[in-house]
Amino acid sequence: MKSLTKTLFLFLFLLQTVHAIEVIDILGGKANELAVAVIPFADDDTDNEKNQIHNVIKSDLSRSGFFRIIKTEGVKSLPTHTNQVDYTFWSGLKAELLVIGRVEKNDQQIKVTYDLVDVFKEKLIISTEYSGSLKQARQIGHQISNVIYEKITGTPGVFHTKIGYVQKVNNNKFHLNVSDMDGFNPKSVVISNQPIISTRWSPDGEKIAYVSFEQKKPVIFVQNLKTGDRKLVANFKGNNSSPAWSPDSKKLAIVLTYNAFSQIYIMDVDGNNVQRLMRSRSIDTEPVWAPDGKSIFFVSDRGGGPQIYTIDLATEQVRRVTFEGKYNVSPRLSPDGKLLTFITNDNGSYKVAVQNLISNQVMRLTKGRNDEAPVFSPNGHMVLYTAKESDKVTALKTVSLNGFKQQLIDTGPLSNQEATWSPIDF
Amino acid sequence: MNKLFYAGIAFALLAGCSSTPLNDANAPSDAKAGSASDRTSDLGLDKLRSDSLLTQRSVYFDFDKFEVKPEYLDVVNAHAQYAADHPGVKMTLKGHADYRGSHEYNLSLGQKRSVSVKNVMNTSGANDAQIETVSYGEEEANQNCQGKECDQDRRVDISYEVE
């Protein structure tokens, strides 16, 4: 258990000692997964779906990259209480952890009890009970995953959080949807006849900023998720795009063109006090605030092709950040500000990459060909992105930093773009 | 700037004439028809619709490039000359990019392309105030293009307000 906690730590910090800048491709590595058998819970037939809670936990743990799910199909005696566990049998299957549990239904209410068991130590790690309505069965499953995740990794899980994304419906409608992070329970919060791009969830969780083309050119709206109100916050001459929230959710960095190239401005969220961040004779776009609020990362083609730079807001010093490859766009930072994810063009294939900002080591997390819009999970352990394979729909996927596990977010048969992720305390 | 201002006033007056409800018995009976055809000839719309260069409305670009290629200079200069000759016209240069890469960078790239066309037009005498540059990035591009198919998505479209 302890060795696993160390794994991510090593991934993040071993890299500091690597001096040669060499891009590493790691695809679907099996590094340090913990083998877990999630046993179907007794009477888990909530919401007309058999084993719903069991399936939620399996999917969550698998997605995280920290766990390898041991198949339990065909196993004759599946324990639902700790006193039923045959430790010799499960250690024979190389299971390191067991998740067992049971559901009690009472009219529309359920009570879910689960146990996390260490097979080798033959010891109960944690046991918790949740109550809720039948409709909350999935949420309870996500909460159980969160507790298991935090017990094992030492970092809070994000399985209860929400994502936002733009779905193309019938090729002529654009829905800004909010759903659970695994794609379940989608709700449309904005529907438009024109494209929507650049969705950005505010750090306080209350709003989503986005760019709409409904005024025959790009303008910036802020959608309030609590009240349902939306507000046009930037409609200046030319293009208005690429909103980025300040860490306190009070300001937006935006990109305006007037009659020239894209340039970065900062304004209050209500659209007042617009101030130009810097002047360049190049494209400056895709700003993103560092979590400490002291600098802004952005894309510029001032050196020829698009690369990622950072500007210190106090000194206005600009520094180039990416050097590998000729095309690096869409920067986003991990919550601790130590990792940068972005899209890199690798010989015509657009892939999700991560750069350690201390060592500058770059790793490509996906194999392309048309991956876009990466964003860190609110605990920094996963990256959400869109992936398009030729002649197929553009899918939402996550890739874990530990083990580089790629997993689909099932949103049905429609194409998606421009995803965003809610904060962790949503 | 001044030229455009006066042209604007002239239009306002013409428009006022043609729509005035006053019945002036002394006014020539063909005044309305006259003002309408004046307007057409003022803007040279016939030429805009028939000239072999002016009927070309798209300028194409190489991948991740924004420079106007030499083969499009004749078309761009013809539109610039047309704008210079008709200070009352307003045109929009709408930049586009193919679907590859990020939506936002493509929006900026489309804009850079439209500004690049505008800059060529400026040197050929077109007034900045006559030209609006906008970008649609990859939003109208073929999201499944392959190889040469994608070439037509990297372009700037020239359109006129009067049309």
Whether the CB-CB separation of A384 and A163 falls below 8 Å is answered with yes
- Tell me, yes or no, whether A338 and A194 share the same domain: yes
List residues in chain B touching A: CB distance below 8 A. 64, 99-105, 107-109, 111-112, 115, 118, 128, 131-137, 139, 143-144, 146
pLDDT at position A170? 86
Residue A296 within any structural domain of the chain: yes
- Tell me, yes or no, whether B14 and B71 share the same domain: no
Residue B50 within any structural domain of the chain: no
- Tell me, yes or no, whether B34 and B66 share the same domain: no
Average pLDDT over residues A252-281: 96
- With a cut of 90, say whether residue A25 has pLDDT above it: no
- Tell me, yes or no, whether B134 and B107 share the same domain: yes
- Tell me, yes or no, whether A121 and A182 share the same domain: no
Residue A15 within any structural domain of the chain: no
Residue A1 within any structural domain of the chain: no
- Tell me, yes or no, whether A142 and A203 share the same domain: no
Q: What percent of chain A has pLDDT over 90?
A: 84
- Tell me, yes or no, whether B17 and B73 share the same domain: no
- With a cut of 70, say whether residue A16 has pLDDT above it: no
Q: Which of A260, A285, A305 sits opposite B115 (nearest CB)?
A: A260
- Tell me, yes or no, whether B68 and B134 share the same domain: yes
Q: What is the ipTM of this complex?
A: 0.90
Average pLDDT over residues A221-248: 97
**Residue that finishes a domain, picked among A119, A153, A187:** A153
Closest Cα partner for A230 from A182, A176, A194, A179? A176
Average pLDDT over residues A60-75: 93
- Tell me, yes or no, whether A236 and A368 share the same domain: yes
Closest Cα partner for A264 from A305, A295, A291, A292? A295
pLDDT at position A31? 55
Q: How far apart are CA A255 and CA A190, in angstroms?
A: 22
- Tell me, yes or no, whether B95 and B119 share the same domain: yes
> Which secondary-structure segment (H or E) carries A116?
strand A109-118
Residue B15 within any structural domain of the chain: yes
pLDDT at position A425? 85
pLDDT at position A223? 98
User: B131 vs A259: CB contact, 8 Å cut-off?
Assistant: yes
Average pLDDT over residues A342-348: 95
- Tell me, yes or no, whether B93 and B34 share the same domain: no
- With a cut of 50, say whether residue A3 has pLDDT above it: no
Average pLDDT over residues A184-208: 97
Domain limits for position A189: 162-421
pLDDT tier for residue B43 given thresholds of 50, 70 and 90: confident
Q: Which of A241, A260, A305 sits opposite B107 (nearest CB)?
A: A241
Q: Is A50 exposed, middle or buried (0-12, 13-18, 19+ CB in 10 A)?
A: exposed
**Residue that finishes a domain, picked among A97, A122, A153:** A153
Among chain B residues, CA nearest to A256 = B108
- With a cut of 80, say whether residue A89 has pLDDT above it: yes
Q: How many CB atoms lie within 10 A of CB A135?
A: 12
- Tell me, yes or no, whether B36 and B97 share the same domain: no
Predicted confidence (pLDDT) per residue in B89-133, tens digit: 999 999 999 999 999 999 999 999 999 999 999 999 899 999 999
- Tell me, yes or no, whether B69 and B103 share the same domain: yes
User: A238 vs B128: CB contact, 8 Å cut-off?
Assistant: no
Residue A64 within any structural domain of the chain: yes
CA separation, residue B100 to residues A186, A336, A372, B84, B140 (Å) = 27, 30, 9, 36, 13
- Tell me, yes or no, whether B62 and B36 share the same domain: no
**Residue that finishes a domain, picked among A99, A127, A153:** A153
Q: Which of B103, B112, B136 sits opposite A283 (nearest CB)?
A: B112
User: B112 vs A242: CB contact, 8 Å cut-off?
Assistant: no
Residue A345 within any structural domain of the chain: yes
The CATH number that applies at residue B85 is 3.30.1330.60
Structural domains in chain B (count)? 2
User: B102 vs A343: CB contact, 8 Å cut-off?
Assistant: yes
Residue B51 within any structural domain of the chain: no
- With a cut of 80, say whether residue A328 has pLDDT above it: yes
pLDDT at position A7? 40
- Tell me, yes or no, whether B99 and B124 share the same domain: yes
pLDDT at position B64? 87
Among chain A residues, CA nearest to B140 = A195
Residues in A touching B115 (Cβ below 8 Å): 259-261
- Tell me, yes or no, whether A139 and A182 share the same domain: no
pLDDT tier for residue A30 given thresholds of 50, 70 and 90: low
Domain limits for position B7: 1-21+29-43
Average pLDDT over residues A264-275: 97
Average pLDDT over residues A366-390: 94
pLDDT tier for residue A240 given thresholds of 50, 70 and 90: very high
- Tell me, yes or no, whether A227 and A247 share the same domain: yes
- With a cut of 60, say whether residue B13 has pLDDT above it: no
Q: How far apart are CA A307 and CA A379, in angstroms?
A: 26
Residue A8 structure tokens: 């991510």
- Tell me, yes or no, whether A123 and A172 share the same domain: no
Residue A51 within any structural domain of the chain: yes
Residue B34 within any structural domain of the chain: yes
Q: What percent of chain B has pLDDT over 70?
A: 74
pLDDT tier for residue A23 given thresholds of 50, 70 and 90: low
- With a cut of 80, say whether residue A2 has pLDDT above it: no
Beta strands in A230-376 (DSSP E): 230-234, 240-245, 251-256, 263-268, 275-276, 284-289, 295-300, 307-312, 318-320, 328-333, 339-346, 349-356, 362-364, 370-376
Structural domains in chain A (count)? 2
User: B104 vs A329: CB contact, 8 Å cut-off?
Assistant: yes
Residue B61 within any structural domain of the chain: yes
The CATH number that applies at residue A125 is 3.40.50.10070
Q: How far apart are CA A352 and CA A400, in angstroms?
A: 12
pLDDT at position B144? 86
Whether the CB-CB separation of A271 and A303 falls below 8 Å is answered with no
pLDDT tier for residue A390 given thresholds of 50, 70 and 90: low
Residue A177 within any structural domain of the chain: yes
Average pLDDT over residues A62-89: 93
- With a cut of 80, say whether residue A137 has pLDDT above it: yes
Sign of the dihedral defined by the CA atoms of residues B24, B30, B36, B40, in that order: negative
Q: Which of B100, B105, B146 sits opposite A299 (nearest CB)?
A: B105
Residue B80 within any structural domain of the chain: yes
pLDDT at position A45? 87
Q: How far apart are CA A179 and CA A52, in angstroms?
A: 18
Q: How far apart are CA B54 and CA B76, in angstroms?
A: 9
- Tell me, yes or no, whether A145 and A166 share the same domain: no
User: A343 vs B101: CB contact, 8 Å cut-off?
Assistant: yes
Residue A171 within any structural domain of the chain: yes
Residues in B touching A238 (Cβ below 8 Å): 111, 132-134
pLDDT tier for residue A65 given thresholds of 50, 70 and 90: very high
- Tell me, yes or no, whether A305 and A351 share the same domain: yes
pLDDT at position B39? 56
Q: What percent of chain A has pLDDT over 70?
A: 92
- Tell me, yes or no, whether B89 and B116 share the same domain: yes
Average pLDDT over residues B78-82: 95
pLDDT at position A46? 76
Sheet with A162-169, edge to edge strand ranges = A187-192, A173-180, A162-169, A416-421
Residues in B touching A193 (Cβ below 8 Å): none
Beta strands in chain B (DSSP E): 58-60, 91-96, 131-137, 155-160
- Tell me, yes or no, whether A193 and A78 share the same domain: no
pLDDT at position A64? 94
Q: Which of A106-120, A381-395, B21-35 has the lowest mean pLDDT?
A: B21-35
Residues in B touching A198 (Cβ below 8 Å): 103-104
pLDDT at position A171? 77
Task: Tell me A253's DSSP state.
Answer: E
Average pLDDT over residues A215-238: 96
User: B111 vs A255: CB contact, 8 Å cut-off?
Assistant: no
Among chain A residues, CA nearest to B147 = A348
pLDDT tier for residue A12 given thresholds of 50, 70 and 90: very low
Residue B84 within any structural domain of the chain: yes
Average pLDDT over residues A247-251: 98
DSSP string, A368-403: -SEEEEEEE-TTSSEEEEEEE-TTSPEEEEEEETTT
Residue A130 structure tokens: 């949740």
The CATH number that applies at residue A376 is 2.120.10.30
- Tell me, yes or no, whether A235 and A149 share the same domain: no
- With a cut of 60, say whether residue A116 has pLDDT above it: yes
- Tell me, yes or no, whether A227 and A346 share the same domain: yes
- Global pTM value: 0.87
Give every CB contact of residue A368 below 8 A, 6+ residues apart in sequence: A346, A349, A350, A351
Residue B115 within any structural domain of the chain: yes
Q: How far apart are CA A54 and CA A101, in angstroms?
A: 9
